[in-house]
Amino acid sequence: MSEPKYDVLWPLARRAVKDMAMNRRFGSGETDHAAKRIGFIWDYMFRGNDMFPLLQAGLAEKYPGSTFVSYEHFGNVHGHDEREVLAALPQRLKEARLDAVIVGVGA
């Protein structure tokens, strides 16, 4: 009697996405504590309204003089009009002239 024969698939597929360069992190140097412009994006699901003020306070302390753009400016990225909000997001981010964005999604 012969051994059973099984087809085997390689679990790793060819890469479908090309590597892209990451932006340099701001504040990565010990002396880089200049004011920043930071935006918040939220899906209105899990306690962003509690968490973002805490994050903002900590960032304001680390980067005095920083300004913050509320998640309300960008809209709900998981609401009834999420397609429109997401389609408009790149332009809204560009117009906001941010140094960084913090995105909070529900757990």
Q: How far apart are CA 75 and CA 22, in angstroms?
A: 26
Residue 20 pLDDT exceeds 60: yes
pLDDT in tens, 31-75: 577 889 999 999 988 888 889 999 999 999 989 999 999 999 999
CA 28, 61, 59 angle in degrees (round to 5)? 55
Q: Domain residues of the chain, as ranges?
A: 37-104
Q: How far apart are CA 16 and CA 12, in angstroms?
A: 11
* Residue ranges of E strands in 23-99: 37-42, 67-69
Q: What pLDDT was estimated at residue 79?
A: 86
Q: What pLDDT was estimated at residue 19?
A: 86
Q: What pLDDT was estimated at residue 104?
A: 84
For the chain, the straight-line distance linking the first and the last C-alpha, in angstroms and rounded, comes to 54
